[in-house]
Amino acid sequence: MVWGVLFAVPSFVWALGGTAGAESTVAPELLRLARDRVPWFLAVLWITGLLKLFGAVVGLGLARPRGVRAGRFLALCGGGATVLLVWHGCLFVVHGVLVEAGAVSVEPGLAGLTRWYLYLWGPWFVAGGLAFAAATVRYARGHEDRRGLRLFGAAGGLGALALSLAFTAAGIG
């Protein structure tokens, strides 16, 4: 839950017009969109902030046993969050490693930014994904519907992976 709340803060700060911490840690194009107050981008910031808070609520829900229906929904969301966050973070880390190793080149002005994605954003996403994984596994172990929860968690993870691959193939994200 804490991870989701902490992660939502920058989205809301940037949506409200602040750019604290964004100058050196976020892609210049995204910073420009925030500074220029581009309406569709502001909507994206608000929506992602709300989704991150939804993740915090899911994290809180995974902290206590719930009924079968709520438990399955939480396991579905927990499995999906695990895959999305670990996948996204690993993409940042792999790209950063390739840039640092010289296997992939970026514009000279973006090299420092790539390090932020390698050392901060990538690991932050992976840590969040691992936190969701641990919470979901812990939740399922203490629930009477373990098998059902595992299936729903796996379905959430596979659905998230399919969605992420489709977006990646489409050049989004």
DSSP string, the chain: -HHHHHHHHHHHHHHTT--TTHHHHS-HHHHHHHHTT-HHHHHHHHHHHHHHHHHHHHHHHTTS---HHHHHHHHHHHHHHHHHHHHHHHHHHHHHHHHHTTSS---GGGHHHHHHIIIIIHHHHHHHHHHHHHHHHHHHHTSTTHHHHHHHHHHHHHHHHHHHHHHHHTT--
Share of the chain above pLDDT 90, in %: 60
- 115 and 37 share a domain? no
Q: Does 13 share its domain with 98?
A: no
- One domain for residues 51 and 73: no
- Per-residue pLDDT, averaged over 153-159, amounts to 94
Same-domain pairing of 150 and 77: yes
Note whether 50 and 75 are same-domain residues: no
- Confidence at residue 107, expressed as pLDDT on a 0 to 100 scale: 86
pLDDT for the residue 13 = 92
Say whether both 46 and 92 belong to one domain: no
Tell whether 38 and 86 lie within a shared domain: no
Picking from 61, 86, 105, the residue at the C-terminal end of a domain is 61
Q: pLDDT (tens digit, 9 = 90+) per residue, 19-31?
A: 877 777 777 888 8
Task: Give me the number of domains the chain comprises.
Answer: 2
This prediction has a pTM of 0.84
pLDDT band at 136 (very low <50, low <70, confident <90, very high): very high
Domain boundary among 61, 92, 107: 61
Q: What is the pLDDT confidence band of residue 124, given thresholds at 50, 70 and 90?
A: very high
d(CA 91, CA 24) in angstroms, rounded, equals 19
- 160 has a pLDDT exceeding 90: yes
Give the residue with greater pLDDT, 170 vs 103: 103
Residue 78 shares a structural domain with residue 160: yes
**54 and 73 both lie in a single domain:** no
Both 131 and 106 in a single domain?
yes
Give residue 173's pLDDT: 61
The residue segments making up the domain with residue 50 are 1-61
